[in-house]
Structure 1
């Protein structure tokens, strides 16, 4: 993989958009105050830096960790933040002053920039039109990220393969008696993923035994309580491989009652029927409506969305929920979860979650999560 070409191609699309919109420069800042996955998407640098992209295609990365940038980053220029006393505002003043832009030229910041940081930039960059707009270059990049290229698909498939392997090992451990508590499972995940080359979990692991599975996201994420004991247990977990996330949920049903079996059957039916609607060109709202119909006919209601995109963030566009625009469709290259679930304070919870790649002709399951009945 020629990463210089990969990241330059992405940045060139951004610069072309900026030129069309009359934006002279765009700032992408990743810090402890607010993480910005676009930084990694556009340069390969994983964290803590400021990226400046200009409409003529130039890119300047100002990393906090110079050594890490030398190893991982791809940009036209890499300038350590120490040159600017670790002050990004000072860096921007110096860098932008080197361009012969007209007074009042537009420079785009992310609309989620904190107000105090925005005020600081506005004060330092008096001669610039500082823009924080919802539908601007940063949103353009989010939309780019919603459609994965071949490298992103490859990384996600690797994350999913590691996750699938863990699921099989976990279920073998349940049957052998090796894994009996929420902690057993969650700590195994933490160790195994790193042994297999993944960076981290893609979110805090949620292992909820029968006493806690009624919650959509059990709090705390896991305890020393029993898991996979009699009743319904949920494991919601995933890993990041080269930054790209998997998102998996399995349900383990140990000697389920008749009423619990009804929940299991409903969720499985929703997963099977809704997958048929995860097709290129089909409306996202149709899949959401199908899940709602299946549950409503049984007098049940799903209290969360049907799915969401994954990538450098565990939750990113597109979102498969009632909030999705009516004309929004699935697009080849989308990687989206399909995660119907039901939760009952007395019976417990059931969720089944798989990651689905939308292809030119249909869809492909990247995970193979199941409802396990023991």
Structure 2
């Protein structure tokens, strides 16, 4: 059954006659057509999936092969939506609750049908990956691993964080990546104590630990990987912290299986960090979903995530970290597929402590 027909089957239980999709990634997920955000919408009716966009996309739509999707060319996207709904006597239109207030105001003014918001309707469908999606995520993760090896081969004392990020970006794009899925984090020395530092003009120096957190799109899907390494030497406390984080990461992966709750999975690693006395220095969730977006459902799994329950073929990150002000921090992040038989690790770059240039 196609993704569109799965959505259409939900209409009766949702008490809607049609559903309007405006999120770019959700349109791509349902149709395979790449429409830039704001350049149109997708109307799913009981019988059709209709892309409504303007004539800039006419040639691309003529080349687009689909047995399910048709197109309407119009500069008045939502006027066209209303005309289609009126023509088909569709009286209740569902829409994504994440739309802007401006778009809501437009729909509220235009639509003769009732409009009803839904939270994460398509995102819930995206949570479970099919075999094609997992293959694409695996390829993206393999490119991440190769990119990390490249970064290790060029990093040296005196290079700035920004220079390393720029060279990695160039290398990833030259090897197939379309774009980064978030600004690359290169955090060295005391900057590594900031869990979401960005690449700065700080020079990487001997004795620094460097946290490299990056994600790149390949064929529409993104990986998200973090590795921490040292340059020249490493503070003894951070060496111990590294071992704690690596063990916590592995414990979470070992516990990851279908049916486990998010708080239980989080506890598998967090408890080890707390027992070592660093509970206050781990200040974020254990991970999140990943796929067409770098952050997908589950948005996070952490101590309070009792309602999150892992499903077969869900792809999540595992990213414990300890951040010590004035000294530095360590984070190691992998992407994994949750299955009935346990977890498959997609990001296969080495996780043992690496010291470059010593």
Aligned to 2:317: 337
Aligned to 2:52: 62
| Partner residue of 1:76 out of 54, 58, 69 | 69
Cα distance 1:73–1:313, how it changes in 2: closer, same or farther (>3 A)? farther
User: How far off its partner does 1:100 sit?
Assistant: 3.0
Cα distance 1:180–1:246, how it changes in 2: closer, same or farther (>3 A)? same
| Partner residue of 1:159 out of 118, 122, 140 | 140
> What secondary structure is seen at the aligned counterpart in 1 of 2:230?
strand
**Cα distance in 2, alignment partners of residues 307 and 289 from structure 1:** 12
Aligned to 1:207: 186
Q: Deviations over 1:10-47 (max 9, x none)?
A: 000000011332210110114xxxxx421110111222
User: How far off its partner does 1:89 sit?
Assistant: 2.1
Once superposed, which parts of structure 1, at least 4 consecutive aligned residues long, lie more than 3 Å away? 67-75
Aligned to 2:40: 49
| Partner residue of 1:90 out of 79, 104, 112 | 79
Give aligned pairs, total. 344
Aligned to 1:298: 276
User: How far off its partner does 1:68 sit?
Assistant: 3.8
Aligned to 2:250: 272
Aligned to 1:13: 6
> What secondary structure is seen at the aligned counterpart in 1 of 2:211?
strand
Aligned to 2:211: 234
What stretches of structure 1 of length at least 5 have no aligned partner? 1-7, 31-35
> What secondary structure is seen at the aligned counterpart in 1 of 2:33?
coil
| Partner residue of 2:117 out of 129, 132, 147 | 132
Aligned to 1:3: none
| Partner residue of 1:253 out of 217, 225, 230 | 230
**Cα distance in 1, alignment partners of residues 63 and 192 from structure 2:** 43
Q: TM-score, normalised by structure 2?
A: 0.90
What is the aligned-residue RMSD (CA, Å)?
A: 2.0
User: How far off its partner does 1:297 sit?
Assistant: 1.3
Aligned to 1:198: 177
**Cα distance in 2, alignment partners of residues 23 and 73 from structure 1:** 28
Q: Which moved more, 1:274-283 or 1:179-188?
A: 179-188
What stretches of structure 2 of length at least 5 have no aligned partner? none
Cα distance 1:96–1:327, how it changes in 2: closer, same or farther (>3 A)? closer
* 1:134-153 map, 5 Å: 134=119, 139-153=120-134
**Cα distance in 2, alignment partners of residues 164 and 240 from structure 1:** 14
User: How far off its partner does 1:294 sit?
Assistant: 1.2
User: How far off its partner does 1:140 sit?
Assistant: 2.8
Q: TM-score, normalised by structure 1?
A: 0.86
Cα distance 1:305–1:24, how it changes in 2: closer, same or farther (>3 A)? same
* Contact 2:142–2:348 (CA under 8 A) maintained in structure 1: no
> What secondary structure is seen at the aligned counterpart in 2 of 1:23?
coil
